[in-house]
Amino acid sequence: MIKQLVMATNNANKLREAREILSPLGIEVLSQREAGANCDPEENGATFAENALIKARAVYEAVKLPTVADDSGLCVAALDGRPGVYSARYAPEGQHCAKLLDEMKDVPTDKRGAAFVCSIAFIDENGENYGVSGRCSGSIGYEQRGTNGFGYDPVFMVGEKSMAELTADEKNAISHRGAALRELYKYLKERYGE
């Protein structure tokens, strides 16, 4: 079993989620800062999987340790899948939900379907890559609700609650990143075994 892997992020929320899901394997998950990787590659891929691999490859090349990177975003059916790979760049910081609600203001309830999608790229100790993905289906609400999430969580509805109204455990159980990380967990467990 590998003892450490680097997650190509410094985002505390993503790190916490990865650490919670992968910790039973006995793998220490380091942020790229903790590993000494000071890189911010341009995410110019056409898909979440391409962007995840771009990030993973850049950090792997910097530290030569097994690396995992994710790229994720929100795909809204009524917006032809937008914001998609541009989710982080869809609006100025802190204005993503407001812009989305404004763009969706005339969309009826039955046409507000959406999904969070996450692709994860894992680069092993030999520089070979493996990809997994996960998704969480829901809909876009009519207002921002809850304080437990980040990004689009306050407007992404799963049943009667927004993602930002769920506890961390509830969110991990259904989230797109949680689903992808559980796939990665299965792969690592199978490949490296105890």
* Ranges 113-117, 169-173, 175-179, most confident: 113-117
Integer CA distances (angstroms), 187 to 69, 133, 171, in order:
15, 12, 22
Listing DSSP states for 79-104 in one string gives GTT-BGGGGGGSSSTT-HHHHHHHHT
What's CA 161's distance to the chain center, in Å?
20
Instruction: Kindly tell me if the per-residue pLDDT of 18 is higher than 80.
Output: yes
Counting runs of H as helices and runs of E as strands, what totals does the chain give? 6, 7
List active site positions: 71
Domains of the chain (ranges, CATH numbers): 4-192 (3.90.950.10)
pLDDT at 194: 60
> What's the whole-model pTM score?
0.89
Integer CA distances (angstroms), 163 to 6, 33, 86, in order:
27, 28, 20
CB 69 within 8 A of CB 56: yes
